[in-house]
Chains A and B, each alone.
Chain A
Amino acid sequence: MNEVLLRSLTPSVLGILVRRGADFAAAEDAVQDALVEAVRVWPDDPPRDAKGWLVTVAWRRFLDATRAETARRRREDLVDEEPAPGPAPASDDTLQLYFLCAHPKLTPSSAVALTLRAVGGLTTRQIARAYLVPEATMAQRISRAKRTVSDVRFDQPGDVATVLRVLYLVFNEGYSGDVDLAAEAIRLTRQLAAAIDHPEVAGLLALMLLHHARRAARTAPDGSLVPLAEQDRGRWDTTLIAEGVTILQVALARDRLGEFQAQAAIAALHADPPTAEETDWVQIVEWYDELVGLTDSPIVRLNRAVAVGEADGPRAGLATLAVLEDSLPRYTAVAAYLHERDGDLKTAARLYAEAALKAPSLAERDHLTRQAARLNARRSR
């Protein structure tokens, strides 16, 4: 049995329970129970209708739990009202679940946890392991999140942008534990793209695919970072790149540009050329200009300085950098790089070492330390 296939049924099964009148929190628990039961029973006794089986078992679990809470009257009302298990509006339900789990009342970490469980069908243990926190903590985070949205009506329209931010967070976390969060984020974004026609959903999906395509080449066997220009492009997944580019082109043709489409366009320009030297930096700068217009983010301006350094030379890049706040994350790393390109190895080495102390991740710190060491070794030769 394919676990991912099983989990892909989660949102529609959950949606059916909620439409039958179950409250979201209890329905979500019942669906989790049904998923666990499916993993146990299906290998020996596979059902003919997987979704129907899950709905039946989850509904029974929900009723049992409700009875256990001595809400007998409510249960009987529900049984009386139980609709025939006919076809349900699965994609609408799926979309509503995304909105609910990314509701603006939730903090980012609780929205992420709730999305992974209620939409993704992951267990609390899997989510806890992926984020390196105790299972009890994650269980509390999820039940708190459920309480936070308990008074939100299921059919209330939501904002796609908040959902996209949650999926983006999941994707960026990479992977630890037995769950590949990047792959899970892609799966959830694909599912969202099937439920709603929106150019930014397509843009985010394209962005994820284009980055995921390069994953194998991004780290050396020892775990160290391999910068874009040094990556073995033969290890890039060309199928994913082609898919990402196609999705992006369709989205861009609709002329409703958003930040994810613009980011994906930049990723596509990096993924396209056969060698790093052939990268079209002039076009990349143009896309950064679009992004600055869309987001006005200082981080985007910092990245733009790198692109300017490539398109118009390191001096131009440094001039672009000079007007930005030097407290920006990775500012010093960018400055080091541009000074190296400009031939000032002494300054570059000092800045790389300084940037290493401010690096947000171990891999990045080690990488920057190596850059400083490489330049220092070259200068002392």
Chain B
Amino acid sequence: MAKYLLLKHYRGAPAAVNDVPMDQWAPEEITAHIQYMNDFAARLEKTGEFVDSQALSPEGTFVRYDGEGRPPVTDGPFAETKDVIAGWMVIDVDSYERAVELAGELSAAPGAGGRPIHEWLELRPFLGVHSTVTDTECAFK
């Protein structure tokens, strides 16, 4: 029982095998792609492994504190930002191996020509709860 984040990038991940921008796909290929993603999420809900899935707008704003009594400073978007997150799925699975298996399936979503995109997804484990029995308790003096 561990949660993992599957991260999908607009930019920043290594190039996919079937690397054609979506706006150059046939409309029905886009439909097929979206259907695949929805089916995937629905299937994970049935297996009791789905937690959350969200998509993000590609453009965001950077915000920071600017001192007492002043409004936050905003900046961006920055065209040169290397890493742009497109969206994520959170899964709750029994093992790392299962997480890798599912990420592989998600990466097989069809793209241009109806062929799998082979897109690189980033798999990140959540930091878990601190377990009650930590036998190395004595190590953390």
- Residues of A participating in the B interface, judged by any CB pair closer than 8 Å: 107-110, 112-113, 131-134, 136-138, 140-142, 144, 168-169, 171-174, 176, 182, 207, 211-212, 215, 225, 227-230, 263, 266, 270, 299-300, 302-303, 306-307, 310, 330, 333-334, 337, 359-365, 367-368, 371
Q: Is the CB of A227 within 8 A of B47?
A: no
A to B CB contacts below 8 Å, 24 in the list: A109-B48, A109-B92, A109-B93, A132-B92, A133-B50, A140-B48, A141-B49, A169-B1, A173-B129, A173-B132, A176-B129, A228-B138, A228-B140, A228-B141, A229-B138, A266-B135, A299-B135, A302-B136, A303-B139, A359-B127, A360-B127, A360-B128, A361-B129, A362-B127
Q: Is the CB of B51 within 8 A of A306?
A: no
Given contacts A137-B92, A171-B132, A361-B129, contact A306 B138 (CB under 8 A): yes
Which range holds the interface residue count of chain B?
A: 20 to 34
Q: Is the CB of A337 within 8 A of B141?
A: yes
Q: Is the CB of B49 within 8 A of A137?
A: yes
Q: A307: which of B51, B132, B138, B141 is its contact (CB, 8 Å)?
A: B138
Q: How far is the CB of B101 from chain A (nearest CB, A)?
A: 13
Given contacts A107-B94, A361-B129, contact A333 B136 (CB under 8 A): yes
Question: Which residues of chain B from 14 to 64 have a CB within 8 Å of any chain A CB?
Answer: 45-52
Given contacts A227-B141, A334-B139, A359-B127, contact A131 B92 (CB under 8 A): yes
Q: How far is the CB of A379 from chain B (nearest CB, A)?
A: 18
3 A-B pairs with the lowest CB-CB distances in the bound complex, closest first:
A141-B48, A363-B130, A361-B130
CA distance A362 to B126 in the complex (A): 9
CA distance A363 to B141 in the complex (A): 14
Q: Is the CB of B92 within 8 A of A306?
A: no
Confirm or deny: B131 has a beta carbon within 8 angstroms of a beta carbon on chain A.
yes
CA distance A300 to B133 in the complex (A): 13
Q: How far is the CB of B85 from chain A (nearest CB, A)?
A: 21
Q: Is the CB of A137 within 8 A of B138?
A: no
Q: Is the CB of A337 within 8 A of B1?
A: no
Q: For B49, what are the chain A residues with a Cβ–Cβ distance below 8 Å? A: 137, 141
Q: For A263, what are the chain B residues with a Cβ–Cβ distance below 8 Å? A: 133, 135
Question: Which residues of chain B from 110 to 141 have a CB within 8 Å of any chain A CB?
Answer: 127-133, 135-141
Confirm or deny: B8 has a beta carbon within 8 angstroms of a beta carbon on chain A.
no
Q: For B140, what are the chain A residues with a Cβ–Cβ distance below 8 Å? A: 225, 227-228, 333, 337, 364, 367-368, 371
- Residues of B participating in the A interface, judged by any CB pair closer than 8 Å: 1, 3, 45-52, 92-94, 127-133, 135-141
CA distance A18 to B74 in the complex (A): 64
Q: Is the CB of A109 within 8 A of B94?
A: yes
Q: For A364, what are the chain B residues with a Cβ–Cβ distance below 8 Å? A: 130, 140
Q: For A108, what are the chain B residues with a Cβ–Cβ distance below 8 Å? A: 1, 94
Q: Is the CB of A361 within 8 A of B1?
A: no
CA distance A270 to B94 in the complex (A): 32
Q: Is the CB of B136 within 8 A of A303?
A: yes
Residue of A nearest to B46 (CB): A140
Q: For B127, what are the chain A residues with a Cβ–Cβ distance below 8 Å? A: 359-362, 365
Q: For A229, what are the chain B residues with a Cβ–Cβ distance below 8 Å? A: 138, 141
CA distance A36 to B45 in the complex (A): 25
Q: A137: which of B50, B129, B141 is its contact (CB, 8 Å)?
A: B50
Residue of A nearest to B51 (CB): A133
CA distance A368 to B136 in the complex (A): 13
CA distance A140 to B47 in the complex (A): 6
Q: B48: which of A138, A171, A299, A334 is its contact (CB, 8 Å)?
A: A138
CA distance A361 to B47 in the complex (A): 26
Interface centre among B45, B52, B130 (most CB of A within 10 A): B130
